[in-house]
C-alpha cells in the first residue's frame, strides 16, 4: 500500500491547538489507546475517513463488508481483550446497519463505542439525503448516546463515551456527529473522563450484606454457585476460584460466563440453562443456597420462574442495582464489582468440601454422559456429529483456542463441549442470539488477541448472514479458523419444529451453495470433510496452519441438541431426549 | 400484587434525549404513563420528571431501577399517594355571557375555590388546582353550561419525607 507523508502536528496532553473536528476525533481515539477501528465510509463521515487516511500509521481502520460486521468485529475485539471496541459508519443506512450490533452489545454488556456521521446541522430535521434519526433509533439499544453538532463538543463527549462504555456494567455508546462539526476548526485539548456527576458505575459493597451472605453460605448444606459474565467483565476469575475452592461449592456457568473457570476444574459442574447440563439444572431446584454471581437470571437460564429454586435462599452478587429482584427475588443482594465483593467474601467463608452434595452432580453427570454426551462426542453412527467436531478441535488446540460461536444448534453444542483453560475465551451472542455474529466477531477476537488461536464455529444458516466478511479475512490475512457445521438446515428452528410443530419444516431446509468454492473465491485455504476418517487429520491441519482456513464439516442433518428445558418448563423438567 | 397509583420522581441532568429514553422504558413494558410533568427542581440545573402510573409495586420498582440506570438520571424515587402531597391544575375557558346569565356559575366558582385568570369580552378563564377528583367534579358541574376549552396538567407532587438529592450530588462529585 502506498504510504503518505503528512506533516503531523505534535500533540501533547493538554496542549492547545486548532484542528478540525474530524482530526480531533482521531486524537480522541488515540488518547483512548484505540489502535483499531472497524467501519464503512459514506458521505456524512468522509471528513473522518480523510483523517484515517492521514493517520493510518497510528490507527488501523478495517473496512468490513457491512456495517453490522463492523459492530460484531468490535464486539469480538472487546470481549477477548477487555478493551473498548470501536465501530464507525456513515449516516442513514450506515447508521441503521449498526443497530443489531448495538442491541447485541447492550444485552451482553459489551463495551463498544460507535461513531456515526450525520447530515450537517442546518439540514437536521429536513429529511435530507441519508438523514436518519439514529439517536432516536438507537436509544433503547445503547447505554448512552449523544449527537454532536459543534466541533467544540468533541473532546468532552468522546471522553465521556469511552468512560461510560467501559465503566460499571459495560455497554455500547453511540455518538452521532454532524458533518459541519467534522469540518469546523477549534482549539483542541483532551482530558480523559474520570466521572459523570449523575452516573455511579460501581455501587459500594456493604459489609453487612456480605456478612449475611457468608453466614448463609457457611451454614448451607447444599450451596450452589451460578456465575455469569459479570465475573469476566469484573476480572474476578481468581476471586471466584478461591471462593469456590475454599467453601467447596459446586459452580455452574451461564453461557456468557463460560471460560471464567477452567473446564477441567473439579468444582466446575457445567452449564445452566435451556441446553445446559443435566446436573446443574436439576440441582438448581435442590440446592439450599443459590449464589448467583454476575448473572441476570435470563429466562433461558431460569425456565419457568415460579418453579425456579423456590426452595433456596438466593444470594445475588451484582454490579447493576436494576438487576436485583428483577426476575428472581434475592434474599441477600450483594451490590458491587464482583472482584471486590468476592474478595471481601473470601475471608468470611469457612473451609468446606460438601462431598456428598458434589456426588449428586457427579451422578447426574453420569446419567447425562450415558444418555447424551457419549453419543454426541463419541458417536457410533455413520454420520458426523457436531459434538465430535468440537472434541477434535479441543484435542488439536489443546483447549487453548478462543471459540467464537454463531447462533443455533452448533452454538449450544460448542458451548457444551468446548474446553477452556483461559478466561475470555468463549465469545458468543448470548442475550440477543444474533445469527451472523460469529464470522465478524472472530475477526475482532483474533485482532484483539493475535497470540491466540481463534476458531469460529458457525452454522450453514448464520454463516450466510455475514459471509461477506470473508473479504476482510482475505484482504488482511487474518488467521482465523472458520468451521461451518453444515446440517443443511436452520437446525435449531428445525429441532423445535420437530418437537413442537409436528415436523412441519417451514423454511428451515437450506439449499446451500458450495461453501468451499466461496472461500476459495476469497483465496482462503478450504476443505470439506464428510467422513469421520478425515476429521481428525483435517482439524489438525487447520489448527497447524498459520493462515486463514475454512473448513466445512457435513454433519448429520437432523440431530437434536439435548438436554433441553422446553420453553416455559421448569429447570427440573429438563429432558434428556 | 395489586395495581395502585405511584408517583415516580426523577431528578436528572437537563438533557434532550432523556425523555425519549424514559418513555421507552414504559413503552417496552406496556405500562401507560397516566401523567407526566417536567420542570426544574429545587436544585439549580437539575430537572425533575413527575410521572404517574397505575401498576404493581414489583413493576414500579423494576421501572425505577431502569430509569435510575440511565446515565443522566441522578436519582429516581417512587411513592404512593399517601406518601406525597400532590396536585393537578386545570384551565376552563367559558363563554363570558354565562358569567352574567347563569347565577349558578358564580356559585361554582366560589365553592370550587378556583380563580378567574382573565375576563375578555367573549370568554373568561378559570384556573383550578387540586386533586384529580376535585377538578373532575368542577368539570362535571360546568359541563351543562358549555365549556369552550378544557385542559388539565400532569400531576405535580412533593414528598412528605426528605429527598436527599443535594447530598447525593455532593457524594457523586467526591467519587
Ligand atoms: C438474525 C437471526 N434471525 C433468526 C434467528 C432465529 N434462529 C435461531 S437459531 C436459527 C437457526 C440457525 O441455523 P444455522 O445457522 O444453520 O445453525 P444450526 O442451528 O443449524 O446449527 C434461527 C433461524 C436468529 N437467532 N437470529
Ligand atoms: Mg444449520
Containing domain of residue A184, as a range? Answer: 3-191
Domain B86-152 in CATH 3.40.640.10? The answer is: no
Number of domains in chain A: 3
pLDDT tens digits along A140-186:
999 999 999 999 999 999 999 999 999 999 999 999 999 999 999 99
Q: Which residue of B has its CA nearest to A325?
A: B62
- Pairwise CB contact (< 8 Å): B12 & A198: yes
Same domain, A222 and A139: no
Mean pLDDT across A422-445: 98
CATH of the domain at A292: 3.40.50.1220
Ligand 2 centroid, distance to A380 Cα (angstroms): 22
* Among candidates B62, B66, B71 on the partner chain, residue whose Cβ is nearest the Cβ of A144: B71
Task: Let me know how many helices (H) and strands (E) chain B has, helices first.
Answer: 6, 9
Residues of B in Cβ contact (< 8 Å) with A145? 17
Of B15, B165, B174, B158, nearest in space to B85 by CA: B158
Position A530 in a domain: yes
Which ligand neighbours the alpha carbon of A494 most closely? 1
Of A92, A98, A95, nearest in space to A68 by CA: A98
> What distance in Å separates residue A321's CA from the closest CA in chain B?
7
Same domain, A48 and A93: yes
pLDDT at position B168 is: 75
Same domain, A259 and A290: yes
A179 is catalytic: yes
Q: Domain B4-85+160-174 has what CATH class?
A: alpha beta
Mean pLDDT across A365-389: 97
Same domain, A435 and A400: yes
Q: Residue B4 phi/psi, 5° resolution?
A: -150, 175
CA distance B89 to B125: 13
Question: Torsion-angle region of residue A226: left (phi > 0), alpha (psi -120 to 50) or beta?
Answer: beta
Q: Is A51 in the pocket of ligand 1 (CB under 6 A)?
A: no
In a 13 Å sphere around the CA of A265, the CA atoms on its Cβ side amount to 27
Of A415, A434, A425, A426, nearest in space to A105 by CA: A434
pLDDT tens digits along A98-110:
999 999 999 999 9
Question: Torsion-angle region of residue B148: left (phi > 0), alpha (psi -120 to 50) or beta?
Answer: alpha
CA distance A438 to A72: 8
pLDDT tens digits along A203-250:
999 999 999 999 999 999 999 999 999 999 999 999 999 999 999 999
CA distance A357 to A327: 27
- A186: cell is 477549534
Position A559 in a domain: no
Q: Residue A341 phi/psi, 5° resolution?
A: -70, -40
CA distance B158 to B162: 9
Q: Are A68 and A477 in contact (CB under 8 A)?
A: no
- HEC profile for A199-232? ECCCCCCCHHHHHHHHHHHHHCCCEEEEECHHHH
Q: Is A490 in the pocket of ligand 1 (CB under 6 A)?
A: yes
In a 13 Å sphere around the CA of A248, the CA atoms on its Cβ side amount to 15
Same domain, A61 and A97: yes
- Pairwise CB contact (< 8 Å): A197 & B13: yes
Position A197 in a domain: no
Same domain, A408 and A479: yes
Same domain, A167 and A106: yes
- Give the full edge-to-edge strand order of the sheet including A332-335: A268-271, A251-253, A223-227, A289-293, A313-318, A332-335
Among the candidates A131, A163, A191, a domain finishes at A191
pLDDT tens digits along B99-157:
888 889 999 999 999 999 999 999 999 999 999 999 999 999 999 999 999 999 999 99
Q: Are A52 and A8 in contact (CB under 8 A)?
A: no
Closest protein CA for atom 3 of ligand 1: A435
Q: Are A568 and A303 in contact (CB under 8 A)?
A: yes
- Give the DSSP letter string of B37-53: EEEE-SSTTEEEEEEEE
Q: Which residue of B has its CA nearest to A138?
A: B21
Same domain, A172 and A268: no
Q: In the predicted model, is pLDDT for residue A473 greater than 70?
A: yes
Same domain, A186 and A334: no
Q: Could you give the residue ranges of the DSSP H alpha helices within A457-522?
A: 460-463, 470-476, 491-500, 515-521
CA distance A362 to A359: 5
CATH of the domain at A493: 3.40.50.970
Question: Torsion-angle region of residue A205: left (phi > 0), alpha (psi -120 to 50) or beta?
Answer: beta
Set A179, A212, A313, A481: catalytic member: A179
Domain segments of chain B as ranges: 4-85+160-174, 86-152
Same domain, A479 and A427: yes
CA distance B142 to B138: 6
| Strands (DSSP E) found in B1-142 | 4-13, 33-40, 46-55, 73-80, 84-95, 115-119, 123-130
Spell out the residues 6+ positions from residue A86 whose beta carbon is closer than 8 angstroms to its own. Answer: A29, A34, A36, A37, A38, A74, A112, A113, A114, A115
> What distance in Å separates residue B59's CA from the closest CA in chain A?
9
- Pairwise CB contact (< 8 Å): B62 & A322: yes
CA distance A352 to A247: 5
Ligand 2 centroid, distance to A549 Cα (angstroms): 20
pLDDT at position A15 is: 55
- Kindly report the number of other CB atoms within 10 A of residue A43's CB atom: 14
Same domain, A18 and A117: yes
A52 near B CB under 8 A: no
pLDDT tens digits along A313-346:
999 999 999 999 999 999 999 999 999 999 999 9
Strand-strand pairing, A332-335 and A313-318: parallel
Which ligand neighbours the alpha carbon of A464 most closely? 1
> What distance in Å separates residue B98's CA from the closest CA in chain A?
46
Residue to substitute in A408, A489, A509 for testing ligand 1 pocket (most ligand atoms within 8 angstroms of CB): A408
Ligand 1 centroid, distance to A418 Cα (angstroms): 20
- Pairwise CB contact (< 8 Å): B68 & A325: no
pLDDT at position B174 is: 59
* Among candidates B24, B61, B172 on the partner chain, residue whose Cβ is nearest the Cβ of A139: B24
Whether the ω angle into residue A224 lies within 30 degrees of 0, i.e. cis, is no
Ligand 1 centroid, distance to A497 Cα (angstroms): 13
> What percent of chain A clears pLDDT 90, i.e. is strictly above it?
97
Place B80 in a pLDDT band, splitting at 50, 70 and 90: very high
Position A200 in a domain: no
- A37: cell is 477501528
Closest protein CA for atom 9 of ligand 1: A408
**Computed over its alpha carbons, how large is the radius of gyration of chain A?**
24
First to last CA, chain A: 56
Same domain, A149 and A240: no
Q: Which atom of ligand 1 is nearest to the CA of A491?
A: 20
- B109: cell is 366558582
Q: What is the pTM assigned to this prediction?
A: 0.95
Q: Which residue of B has its CA nearest to A169?
A: B69
Position A519 in a domain: yes
For Cα atoms A95, A99, A101, give the angle at the middle one, nearest 5 degrees. 115
Helix axes A338-345, A237-247, angle to 10 degrees: 30
Q: Which residue of A has its CA nearest to B11?
A: A198
pLDDT at position A7 is: 42
Task: Name the 3-class secondary structure at A527.
Answer: strand
Q: Do domains B4-85+160-174 and B86-152 have the same CATH topology?
A: yes
- Pairwise CB contact (< 8 Å): B62 & A321: no
Residue to substitute in A490, A511, A567 for testing ligand 1 pocket (most ligand atoms within 8 angstroms of CB): A490
Whole-number mean pLDDT of chain B? 92
Place A14 in a pLDDT band, splitting at 50, 70 and 90: low
Question: For residue A431, how far is the Cα from the chain centroid?
Answer: 9
pLDDT at position B100 is: 86
CA distance A473 to A518: 13
Q: Residue A237 phi/psi, 5° resolution?
A: -60, -45
* Chain position carrying cell 438487576: A323
pLDDT tens digits along A250-269:
999 999 999 999 999 999 99
Q: Are A402 and A427 in contact (CB under 8 A)?
A: yes
CA distance B91 to B126: 6
- B82: cell is 399517601
Indicate the length of chain A as a whole number.
Answer: 577
- B131: cell is 386533586
Q: Which atom of ligand 1 is nearest to the CA of A413?
A: 21
Amino acid at each position: 500500500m502506498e504510504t503518505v507523508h503528512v506533516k503531523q502536528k505534535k500533540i501533547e496532553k493538554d496542549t492547545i491547538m486548532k484542528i478540525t473536528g474530524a482530526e480531533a476525533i482521531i486524537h480522541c481515539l488515540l488518547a483512548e489507546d484505540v489502535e483499531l477501528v472497524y467501519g464503512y465510509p459514506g458521505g456524512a463521515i468522509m471528513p473522518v475517513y480523510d483523517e484515517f487516511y492521514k493517520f493510518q500509521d497510528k490507527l488501523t481502520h478495517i473496512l468490513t463488508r457491512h456495517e453490522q460486521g463492523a459492530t460484531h468485529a468490535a464486539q469480538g475485539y472487546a470481549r477477548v481483550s477487555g478493551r473498548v471496541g470501536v465501530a464507525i459508519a456513515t449516516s442513514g443506512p450506515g447508521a441503521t446497519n449498526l443497530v443489531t450490533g448495538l442491541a447485541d452489545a447492550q444485552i451482553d454488556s459489551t463495551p463498544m463505542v460507535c461513531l456515526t456521521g450525520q447530515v450537517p446541522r442546518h439540514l437536521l430535521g429536513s429529511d435530507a439525503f441519508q438523514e436518519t434519526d439514529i439517536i432516536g433509533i438507537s436509544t433503547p439499544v445503547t447505554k448512552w448516546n449523544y449527537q454532536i453538532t459543534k466541533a467544540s463538543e468533541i473532546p468532552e463527549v468522546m471522553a465521556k463515551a469511552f468512560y461510560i462504555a467501559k465503566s460499571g456494567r459495560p455497554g455500547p455508546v453511540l455518538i452521532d456527529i454532524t458533518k459541519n462539526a467534522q469540518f469546523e476548526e477549534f482549539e483542541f485539548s483532551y482530558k480523559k473522563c474520570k466521572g459523570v456527576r449523575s452516573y455511579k458505575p460501581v455501587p459500594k459493597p456493604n459489609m453487612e450484606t456480605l456478612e449475611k451472605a457468608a453466614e448463609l453460605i457457611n451454614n448451607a448444606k447444599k450451596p450452589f454457585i451460578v456465575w455469569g459474565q459479570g465475573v469476566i467483565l469484573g476480572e474476578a476469575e481468581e476471586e471466584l476460584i478461591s471462593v469456590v475452592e475454599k467453601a467447596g461449592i459446586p459452580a455452574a456457568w451461564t453461557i456468557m460466563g463460560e471460560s471464567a473457570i477452567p473446564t477441567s476444574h473439579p468444582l466446575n459442574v457445567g452449564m445452566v440453562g435451556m441446553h445446559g447440563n443435566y446436573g446443574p439444572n436439576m440441582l438448581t431446584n435442590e440446592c439450599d443456597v443459590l449464589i448467583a454471581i454476575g448473572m441476570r437470571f435470563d429466562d433461558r437460564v431460569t425456565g419457568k420462574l415460579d418453579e425456579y429454586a423456590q426452595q433456596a435462599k438466593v444470594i445475588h452478587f451484582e454490579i447493576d442495582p436494576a438487576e436485583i429482584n428483577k426476575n428472581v427475588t434475592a434474599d441477600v443482594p450483594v451490590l458491587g464489582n464482583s472482584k471486590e465483593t468476592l474478595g471481601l467474601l473470601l475471608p468470611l467463608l469457612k473451609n468446606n468440601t460438601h462431598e456428598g452434595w458434589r456426588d449428586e452432580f457427579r451422578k447426574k453427570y453420569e446419567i447425562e454422559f450415558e444418555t447424551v454426551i457419549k453419543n454426541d462426542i463419541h458417536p457410533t453412527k455413520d454420520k458426523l456429529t457436531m459434538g465430535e467436531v468440537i472434541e477434535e478441535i479441543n484435542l488439536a488446540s489443546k483447549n487453548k483456542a478462543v471459540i467464537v460461536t454463531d447462533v443455533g444448534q452448533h452454538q449450544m453444542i460448542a458451548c457444551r463441549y468446548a474446553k477452556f483453560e483461559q478466561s475470555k475465551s468463549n465469545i458468543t451472542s448470548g442475550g440477543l442470539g444474533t445469527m451472523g455474529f460469529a464470522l465478524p466477531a472472530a475477526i475482532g477476537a483474533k485482532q484483539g488477541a493475535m497470540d491466540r488461536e481463534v476458531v469460529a464455529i458457525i452454522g450453514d444458516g448464520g454463516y450466510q448472514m455475514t459471509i461477506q466478511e470473508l473479504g476482510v479475512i482475505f484482504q488482511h490475512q487474518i488467521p482465523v479458523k472458520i468451521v461451518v457445521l453444515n446440517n443443511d438446515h436452520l437446525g435449531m428452528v428445525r429441532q423445535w419444529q420437530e418437537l413442537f410443530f409436528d415436523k412441519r419444516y417451514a423454511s428451515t431446509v437450506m439449499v446451500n451453495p458450495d461453501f468451499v468454492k466461496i472461500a476459495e473465491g476469497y483465496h482462503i485455504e478450504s476443505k470439506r470433510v464428510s467422513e469421520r476418517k478425515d476429521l481428525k487429520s483435517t482439524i489438525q491441519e487447520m489448527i497447524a496452519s498459520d493462515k486463514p482456513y475454512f473448513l466445512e464439516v457435513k454433519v448429520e442433518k437432523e440431530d437434536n441438541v439435548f438436554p433441553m428445558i422446553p420453553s416455559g418448563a421448569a429447570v427440573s423438567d429438563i429432558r434428556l431426549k | 400484587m395489586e395495581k395502585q397509583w405511584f408517583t415516580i420522581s426523577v431528578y436528572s441532568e437537563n438533557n434532550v434525549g432523556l425523555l425519549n429514553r424514559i418513555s421507552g422504558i414504559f413503552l417496552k413494558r406496556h405500562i401507560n404513563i397516566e401523567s407526566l410533568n417536567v420542570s426544574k427542581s429545587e436544585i439549580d440545573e437539575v430537572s425533575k420528571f413527575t410521572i404517574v402510573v397505575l401498576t404493581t409495586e414489583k413493576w414500579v420498582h423494576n421501572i425505577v431501577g431502569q430509569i435510575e440506570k440511565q446515565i443522566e438520571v441522578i436519582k429516581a424515587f417512587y411513592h404512593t399517594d399517601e406518601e406525597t402531597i400532590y396536585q393537578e391544575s386545570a384551565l376552563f375557558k367559558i363563554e363570558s355571557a354565562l358569567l352574567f346569565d347563569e347565577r349558578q356559575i358564580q356559585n361554582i366558582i366560589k365553592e370550587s375555590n378556583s380563580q378567574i385568570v382573565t375576563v375578555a369580552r367573549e370568554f373568561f378563564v378559570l384556573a383550578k388546582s387540586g386533586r384529580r377528583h376535585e377538578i373532575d367534579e368542577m368539570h362535571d358541574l360546568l359541563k351543562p353550561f358549555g365549556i369552550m376549552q378544557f385542559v388539565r396538567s400532569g400531576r405535580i407532587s412533593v414528598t412528605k419525607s426528605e429527598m436527599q438529592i443535594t447530598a447525593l450530588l455532593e457524594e457523586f462529585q467526591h467519587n
